[in-house]
Structure 1
Amino acid sequence: MADQVKTARAPPAGKRQSSHASLNSEEKNAILSGKVEDLEPSPETYAAIMAINKPNPRGAGYIRLYLLASMIFLCSTMNGFDSSLMGSINALPNYTRYFGLPENGNASTGIVFAIFQVGQMCGALFIWMTDWYGRTWHIFLGCLGVCVGTVVTSMATNLPMFIGGRFILSFFATCAHTAAPLYLVEISPAVYRGTIAGLYNTFYNVGSILATSSVYGCHLHLADRGNLDWRIPLWLQMICPGIVVLLIKFPPESPRWLIAQDRHEEAKSIIATYHTNGDPNHPLVALQMKEMIGSLEEGHIASWKDLFDLSILVETRSSRYRLMLNIAFSWFGQFSGNNIISYYLPLMLNGIGITDTDTKLILNIVYAVIGWIFSAAGSRLHDIVGRRKMLLTTTAGMAVCLALVAACAAGFEEYGNTKASTVSIVFIFMFGAIFSVGYTPMQPIYPAEVVSNKMRAKAMGTFKLTAGAAGFLNTFVGPIALSNIGYWFYVFFVFWDSFEMAFMYFFFVETKGMTLEELDAIFEAKNPRKASVKAKKAQKRILKGEVSKA
């Protein structure tokens, strides 16, 4: 099989090979007919090979993969730093006074936050370029642009200049922050994809911790030194993207991108290095090379003209179903009540009687620490429990928490019950913990997993456009809604999260433990959701040893 991989060649231009290269006819027919439970496990699937010949996850190649991933995680830290930075800075009197912003928020406050989503949506239009010149170059240019945007915002002397700087920063941050998880999804081994790639978004909380801590420290010691208490944290935004700019061109490119460029030997070397600890003869190398060669449209080299060719997203029933999941989870990840809390926690605390600036900043830090701890645990749980069960359970928990927050906020607002105020804070933090476990690791990962190799770059652009639209609606409307309807805003999200749970149950596909190419057959089934659940049962049989070692 290894020899076959070495001599494989790209198909003629415009001709697409079967996307089921790793499946025999019996397996493919079983999946398409929905009879996965009757399927005899094959020794030539990813799960079967892992069951009898699993590479050492502590080997030299895996250690290199973990170090590579750690550097990529800084793109997420960068993103989390900005999001929490503005939420914390908005609580500083020096900042609001300098730009003439009211303490309790209005349309001007909203546009300062929401311009980040505008820049994000604009940046998403260029994600397709990762198919042209590669994933790592897109990350490099994105982080370099963030450094430029940081200089503009940190030196801003008026509100329009500050807003303009945030647009630049968000535009380029989107380039880096979208290409980074795409790169991790494509280079990570399937069995640890949820853990390694899922950890990426958990470092959003590391950025939140750094941002909120820096603002708190600067406010504590520099509040009487003019505007240093908010300008210094703005300058600190440059640290993470600066490190990435210096290091990103040392790691290899995505093996799937290299296959698309007809650079098979380089791709094979990367798979061998990072998935099998340098063993080019391991059966996983041959299997994954065969899958990637069979699934990618290698006869086509990406160019600037691809910007106008979006037909690949909707050309088949399978691709339309994939796009639906990509858009749905992109929206759910931003519109489940989480953005309101992360951006406007200080305003929410005002609403329940907590007005001291230091107290609000400390609670911001605690919220971020809780988020990181629980999201890191969630990234591993997604590879153990599975995506569907995790998302369904946590969405139900979020709805319950928001209902209790609304009830407690009503008790304080309507009856002046200070105990209800305290209880509402507990459930705000519990909501954050539950969201972090289920959603944070998967926010950029699940939208990348559910799309095919040829769709992935454009679909990640769609993911960012959708997330940006949801985030813009949240952050612009949020302060106005909180000021006018108070706790009823939380009630709305209780019903919305209930809808999300129902949608996930009927449509979301399980992706745990399958290679990106093995998922192709799942999506061609009449009911992909049912096919994925049944395939997971077959996978369990394989892992229990019900497979021949022949």
Structure 2
Amino acid sequence: MVNTSKQRIYNWYISLVAASCMVLYGYDAAVFNAVQGSKNWVNYYGNPDPNQIGAVNTATTVAGIIVGWFLTAPLSDYFGRRVAMFCGAFVVFFSTFIQAFAPAGHGIGAFIAGRALVGAGQALAIPAGPVYIGELAPPDIRGKIMSFWQMFFSVGSFIAYWVNYACTKNVPALGNWDWRMVVIFQLLFPGIICALIFFCPETPRWYVQHGKMDEAREALRKVRETEEEVESELLQIKQAIEYEKHVIDGRYAPLWKDKSIRKRLLLAFVLNFGQQVTGQGSLNSYSTIVYKKVFKDNSTIQLINALNGTFGILFTLNATWTVDRYGRKFLLFVGAIGMAICMVLSASVYIGTPDNADGSKDTGVASGIVFLMFLFALFYKPSWGAAVWIWSSEVFSMNVRAQAVAMSAQMQGVGNAIVNQIFPLILAKIGFKAMYMFAGINVLLAAFVWFFLPETKGYALEDMDTLFGGVSHTEKGAHFVENEVLGEALGKEGTELTVQQVEHASNKKETV
């Protein structure tokens, strides 16, 4: 039976507000892909060459990597997840105007600067979003809620591509506004996030980490149904954080010193890097120039992109019923194998069929290639799209979660920067044979998942440490919490008690 309590409904609401950060990423990934098909955009910026095209995307990812590695975690940990999301959305909002109104001629540099600011804003908001969702969602629906995180990427692409398609049908009337309109619509969701985020509670784990127990309790009461659940989870959080405070040194040092955390970080690095080199990252950014090898009409290409964005939403919804039923590992393995097959077939169809006189393909062949690209998205969206974010956001302990998720997320940027810079050149030289390269990468990713990745389905966040061979922060932290409570009972608040003192205090309390 579906749980429809007001707490569960509210949990979904605040999670979807946070998930709107992913719309920023989805819309932006589609924007530049879309405007590349505009002759007005190409002429406005002096017909940029493949290296300049690659640089536009690389600026976004490099700025994101720098901000994500060095600024996101301190901002999120010190000021809270909500502040990080707000700041990121605000930067994206501001940078949209730079992209839309950069000067003509040699103004591609200003456009690139605007893209770099978008990357910086995304790097602030996007890592904070899944951490926020993971720290508030109950374990039994955490995977399901987090699947909407990736679906909102598709929502962003959906809006961008359909706006762009509408503009391609009115190019003579719009002029340069045929691409400016697409860029301007990027204001929509940053505005929504900035307006709503501070009406959502901060996470109870952040409150406890900063000694705000009453605020943590009130936050939990909004998303848990009974007082017993609230107090039980609050105690677990406090125990884990007390252990991390007393035993673990610093916020970044454990990422490398603690064998269990280091293992999780390296696995998350590979997963997030792999997400962008499956081929989906290149298709997000360059499907327009890929489809130009099959179709000649830009309006047709943009319609295909818009339909791909639409089906992407439906495909991602598959994660909502599969991720908690079959697990993250199953989805990632099947997704990688499916994507590899689609890439092999699409390249083989293209290479094995003749071209028309204008360089396009016959309708049947072109439709077959488009079908295989859509089938590729069907495998990608619930697996390497959604499950990577779910796995990465739930495996780290509280003391390093913001840092680790931010750093892991920026490995997507590293993969994106590498592939997006070289893909236009590879496509120009070998055409659809590039898809064979992606097929090989996906086979390697499937092997990685099969042999190295533990399943995390159904585990509470505080239990992840034991899953990866570490100590239970909750169990170890119970000693420190008990010391604190018994220290007050003995009149020794703020001192560390010995085991004998704890036993004596316990006996004293029982006698009383």
* TM tier relative to shorter chain: 0.7 to 0.9
- In the other structure, the counterpart of 1:34 is none
- In the other structure, the counterpart of 2:99 is 153
The one-letter code matched in structure 1 to 2:202 is E
CA distance in structure 2 between the partners assigned to 1:223 and 1:310 by the alignment: 55
The answer to whether residue 79 in structure 2 is matched with residue 133 in structure 1 is yes
Residue-by-residue CA offset, 1:457-510 (whole Å, 9 max, x unaligned): 111221133111100111111111111122221111111111111110111111
CA distance in structure 1 between the partners assigned to 2:347 and 2:354 by the alignment: 10
- The 5 Å alignment of 1:61-100 reads 61-100=7-46
CA distance in structure 2 between the partners assigned to 1:391 and 1:232 by the alignment: 37
- In the other structure, the counterpart of 2:278 is 336
The TM-score normalised by the length of structure 1 is 0.80
CA distance in structure 2 between the partners assigned to 1:497 and 1:318 by the alignment: 27
Contact 2:97/2:184 (CA < 8 Å) preserved in 1? Answer: yes
- In the other structure, the counterpart of 2:262 is 320
CA distance in structure 2 between the partners assigned to 1:469 and 1:141 by the alignment: 22
- In the other structure, the counterpart of 2:389 is 444
- In the other structure, the counterpart of 1:263 is 212
CA distance in structure 1 between the partners assigned to 2:162 and 2:52 by the alignment: 25
User: CA offset at residue 379 of structure 1?
Assistant: 3.1
- The 5 Å alignment of 1:247-326 reads 247-276=196-225, 279-281=226-228, 284-297=229-242, 300=245, 310-326=252-268
**Identical aligned pairs, as a percentage?**
25
User: CA offset at residue 106 of structure 1?
Assistant: 0.8
CA distance in structure 1 between the partners assigned to 2:182 and 2:368 by the alignment: 32
CA distance in structure 2 between the partners assigned to 1:299 and 1:445 by the alignment: 23
- In the other structure, the counterpart of 1:392 is 333
User: CA offset at residue 288 of structure 1?
Assistant: 1.9
- In the other structure, the counterpart of 1:364 is 305
Contact 1:84/1:343 (CA < 8 Å) preserved in 2? Answer: yes
Residue-by-residue CA offset, 1:121-152 (whole Å, 9 max, x unaligned): 12202121211111001111111111111111
- In the other structure, the counterpart of 2:52 is 108
CA distance in structure 1 between the partners assigned to 2:62 and 2:266 by the alignment: 22
The answer to whether residue 471 in structure 2 is matched with residue 513 in structure 1 is no
CA distance in structure 2 between the partners assigned to 1:258 and 1:360 by the alignment: 49
CA distance in structure 1 between the partners assigned to 2:172 and 2:327 by the alignment: 47
Number of residue pairs the alignment of both structures matches: 460
- In the other structure, the counterpart of 1:121 is 65
The answer to whether residue 467 in structure 2 is matched with residue 494 in structure 1 is no
- In the other structure, the counterpart of 2:417 is 472
Larger relative CO (CA 8 A, sep 6+): 1 or 2? 1
- In the other structure, the counterpart of 2:490 is none
User: CA offset at residue 108 of structure 1?
Assistant: 0.9
- In the other structure, the counterpart of 1:545 is none
Residue-by-residue CA offset, 1:40-72 (whole Å, 9 max, x unaligned): xxxxxxxxxxxxxx9x72101111112212222
Contact 2:255/2:262 (CA < 8 Å) preserved in 1? Answer: yes
The TM-score normalised by the length of structure 2 is 0.86
Residue-by-residue CA offset, 1:238-281 (whole Å, 9 max, x unaligned): 111011111111111111111111222322332232022xx213
The one-letter code matched in structure 1 to 2:110 is M
Q: Secondary structure, in 3 states, of the residue corresponding to 1:296?
A: helix
The one-letter code matched in structure 1 to 2:63 is G
Contact 2:63/2:116 (CA < 8 Å) preserved in 1? Answer: yes
Q: Secondary structure, in 3 states, of the residue corresponding to 1:442?
A: helix
Contact 1:326/1:451 (CA < 8 Å) preserved in 2? Answer: no
Between 414-423 and 132-141, report the one with greater CA deviation.
414-423
Residue-by-residue CA offset, 1:135-185 (whole Å, 9 max, x unaligned): 001111111111111111111111111111111121012211111111111
The one-letter code matched in structure 1 to 2:97 is V
- In the other structure, the counterpart of 2:185 is 236
The one-letter code matched in structure 1 to 2:278 is S
Contact 2:167/2:174 (CA < 8 Å) preserved in 1? Answer: no
User: CA offset at residue 287 of structure 1?
Assistant: 3.1
CA distance in structure 2 between the partners assigned to 1:63 and 1:225 by the alignment: 43
Contact 1:481/1:489 (CA < 8 Å) preserved in 2? Answer: yes
Between 195-204 and 285-294, report the one with greater CA deviation.
285-294
Unaligned runs of 5+ in 1: 1-53, 527-550
Q: Secondary structure, in 3 states, of the residue corresponding to 1:511?
A: coil
Judging by fraction of residues, say which structure has more helix.
2
- In the other structure, the counterpart of 1:186 is 135
Q: Secondary structure, in 3 states, of the residue corresponding to 1:310?
A: coil
TM-aligned CA distance change 1:223 to 1:382, over 3 Å: farther
TM-aligned CA distance change 1:514 to 1:299, over 3 Å: closer
TM-aligned CA distance change 1:161 to 1:271, over 3 Å: same
User: CA offset at residue 448 of structure 1?
Assistant: 1.6
Quote the RMSD (CA, aligned, Å). Answer: 2.1
CA distance in structure 2 between the partners assigned to 1:429 and 1:444 by the alignment: 21
- The 5 Å alignment of 1:397-416 reads 397-412=338-353
- In the other structure, the counterpart of 2:502 is none
TM-aligned CA distance change 1:406 to 1:222, over 3 Å: closer
Residue-by-residue CA offset, 1:282-329 (whole Å, 9 max, x unaligned): xx333322321222247859xxx97xx621101122111111111011
TM-aligned CA distance change 1:223 to 1:453, over 3 Å: farther
Contact 2:332/2:387 (CA < 8 Å) preserved in 1? Answer: no
CA distance in structure 2 between the partners assigned to 1:404 and 1:82 by the alignment: 29
Contact 2:7/2:224 (CA < 8 Å) preserved in 1? Answer: yes
- In the other structure, the counterpart of 1:225 is 174
CA distance in structure 2 between the partners assigned to 1:161 and 1:383 by the alignment: 45
Q: Secondary structure, in 3 states, of the residue corresponding to 1:448?
A: helix
Q: Secondary structure, in 3 states, of the residue corresponding to 1:253?
A: coil
